[in-house]
Amino acid sequence: MVQKLSNDDRQSLIDLANEARKKAYAPYSNYKVGAVLRTRSGRVYTGVNIENAAYPQTMCAERVAIFKAVSDGELEFDVISVVTDNGGSPCGGCRQVLSEFGMDTIVLIANGEGKLMKELTVKDLLPEAFTPNHLDNPKS
């Protein structure tokens, strides 16, 4: 079920992600990303990208926020806000991880000035996603 967001909710989530972005560890790309995930229970989790000299070990801000939520037992998400300088979209890996927890999660993409660039759902970002329903024993 897609949730309705007020303009104040949108801006608050964007502002929180933009603030979190300041803590990103991006010494190699200098492409700082902040994310804020709100769960259906109303809890909020922040994430930042964390780069590593061994590049494949880098972790995206979206997945950091998701993993923090899941580690606290949260499995149902309402909205995720992602902020970069230029309003970049979540990578394919993050889209796939988001799809694990619901195709109707709202995705807010904003730039470093706090301007909403796009609002869509995970389903919009990753049509034809491979989900647990494709497995012989999907999650319960």
**Residue 76 bears catalytic tag:** no
The rounded Cα 137 to chain-centroid distance in angstroms is 27
Q: What is the dihedral of CA 30, 58, 17, 103, to 10 degrees?
A: 130
Q: Which residue among 19, 51, 62, 113 is the active-site one?
A: 62
d(Cα 86, Cα 117) in Å, to the nearest integer? 9
Among residues 91, 49, 46, 51, which one has the least CA distance to residue 72? 46
Q: What is the set of active-site residues? A: 62
